[in-house]
Amino acid sequence: MKTTTIVAATVGVLAVATVGYAVYFDSKRQSDPEFKRKLKRDRKRAEKLAKTEAKRLTEESTQDIEDFLASVTEEDFPTSMEEREQFCMAQLSAGEELFVKGPENYSKAAICFYKALKVYPAPAELVMVFQKTIPPEVFTVVMGMLSKDVQSKEEKYYTVFPPKEMNVKVEEKPEGLDVNGQRVVRRGLVATKGFTKGEVIYTETPVISSLEPSLEGKNFCHYCLKEMIKKEVMIPCTSCSVAVFCSEECRTSAGQEFHEILCTKNLKGGSAPAQALREYTKETRNVVPGMLAKFLAKMVHDESLKSGAEYNSFDHLERLVYVEQTLGPDEEKEIELLKLALGSSIPGIDQFITEERYLIMKARILYNIYGVSSGLSASLNVKPLPESHRSVRDRPITGVGLYRATSYLMHSCEPNTKIVYSSRDHTVSLVATENIRSGDELQVGYIKNGKLSTEQRRLELFTKYRLQCSCPLCEMTD
């Protein structure tokens, strides 16, 4: 008998027994001390038995789910969008045919529904459909498989990321205790080999980057943020006045990843859906809404490539630390503009961008982006961006970038590394500012120290990042 069937039957029997003895139980409970003691003993035995049984059932269910997952391999899934759609519909149909034949086919039906879930573009929505349309027993198994798969993917992620050639790894670090006395841990970036002062530890290009809005359309590459000097050829977008590129490679990459969707096409005399988002970012100088539009467009492009990579940029974003954001008029406006900009090009985006999902994505980007100083001339009058970003550079920033490994660098007011943009574009080089041993955690400054006092630094760090800095400099001046 299936685990879910046993549980359901047990609950049903207990419910009937409770109704039958309700009046007798209540009178004895109030008038008989011995009955109270016996009831207490029976309750303890029942709780112990329930825990034992629950553990047994959980172990059996877990083993079943692991067996089911083992029967599903990556080779089972098609790659092209058309094939995935056909595959999804076939699995849904097969699952329905199986579960109507009875409980003995529930496991096979669950596997079919799970396979459909794996290729469906909006799995959260399909889960809600399953909850309403398939038997609870089947739904429980499907969710068990999904949960186990997510857990396994989560555990494996940091064994393959960052890649070994970057000479760093992500490790859990103790962060003290929370208000309930529970141990708090965070993830930090640790060196896997020794480095001498001045040595480059790794270089990294961003997941996505964006120019400071006032620099768009000028002599700055819309893709890599590079400042182009007079002898360098600028390649303009033929459809809009917003984008200029430093090379044919950057123009092609931008077009494929996001610009084809987000081009304002103002030189064509029309009004593209992305025009309103562009006007908003230019007026407010808030770069994150535009970055999110680029990020989502790039995710669609990456999905179409079917490179075979086990993890994508969204997997990276979902693991980043963030400070919760609240929904205000600005966020409501940004959600509306984002849906407008992407709606005609990305089917289903209107349902995907919920208020909750938007706030979390925005919060993760705000917490982890770095100000890019790619050699911008100090004579240019570029004001600081209103949105928070990690930056310790004295020169104005060209834009901002979201990086994979670099997001895991922890702050210190006396860091052992520094961010350098030696290529004059958005490529980050992490350089050791002191000798580093294998196993040392790598740290960088999130803010400009300048002449700030310890109190001022800690206030800024807590306000922007909820960090209680306890670096040697802060501890020394307490």
Considering the entire predicted model, what is its pTM?
0.74
Report the alpha-carbon distance of residue 113 to residue 129 in Å, rounded.
Answer: 11
CA angle, residues 370, 408, 395, in degrees to nearest 5: 20
User: How many CB atoms lie under 10 A from the CB of residue 340?
Assistant: 16
Which DSSP string corresponds to 174-199? EEEE-TTS-EEEEEEEEESS-B-TT-
406 neighbors 202 (Cβ within 8 angstroms): no
- Please indicate whether residue 459 or residue 182 has the higher confidence score (pLDDT): 459
Are 108 and 101 spatial neighbours (Cβ–Cβ below 8 Å)?
no
Domain with residues 161-205+403-478, CATH architecture: Beta Complex (2.170)
Distance CA 168, CA 171 (A): 10
The stretch 121-140 carries a mean pLDDT of 81
Burial 24-58 (b: 16+ CB within 10 A, else e): eeeeeeeeeeeeeeeeeeeeeeeeeeeeeeeeeee
Task: Name the least confident of 262-266, 268-272, 283-287, 347-351.
Answer: 268-272
How far apart are the C-alpha atoms of 179 and 218, rounded to whole Å? Answer: 51
Q: Residue 164 corresponds to which amino acid?
A: K
Q: What is the pLDDT of residues 14-31, one digit of tens each?
A: 222 222 223 333 344 445
Domain range summary for the chain, segments of one domain joined by +? 3-54, 74-151, 161-205+403-478, 210-368
78-87 per-position pLDDT tens digit: 877 778 888 8
Token output for 135? 């038997």
Average pLDDT over residues 174-192: 77
Burial class (CB in 10 A: 0-12, 13-18, 19+), 383: exposed
Cα 449 to its chain centre, rounded Å, is 29
Collect all residues with Cβ–Cβ distance below 8 Å to 351 and sequence separation of at least 6: 122, 125
Give the C-alpha separation, 56 to 51, whole Å. 9
- Considering only 55-64, 229-238, 458-467, which range has the smallest mean pLDDT? 55-64
pLDDT tens for each residue of 383-419 = 888 888 998 766 678 899 999 999 999 998 889 999 9
| Helix residue spans in 222-328 (DSSP H) | 248-254, 260-262, 275-284, 288-305, 313-318
Residue 397 is given by DSSP the state: P
pLDDT at 394: 62
* pLDDT higher than threshold 60 for residue 288: yes
What does the pLDDT average to over 430-443? 96
- Write out pLDDT tens, residues 289-298: 999 999 999 9
CA distance 218 to 189: 36
CATH topology of domain 74-151: Mitochondrial Import Receptor Subunit Tom20; Chain A (1.20.960)
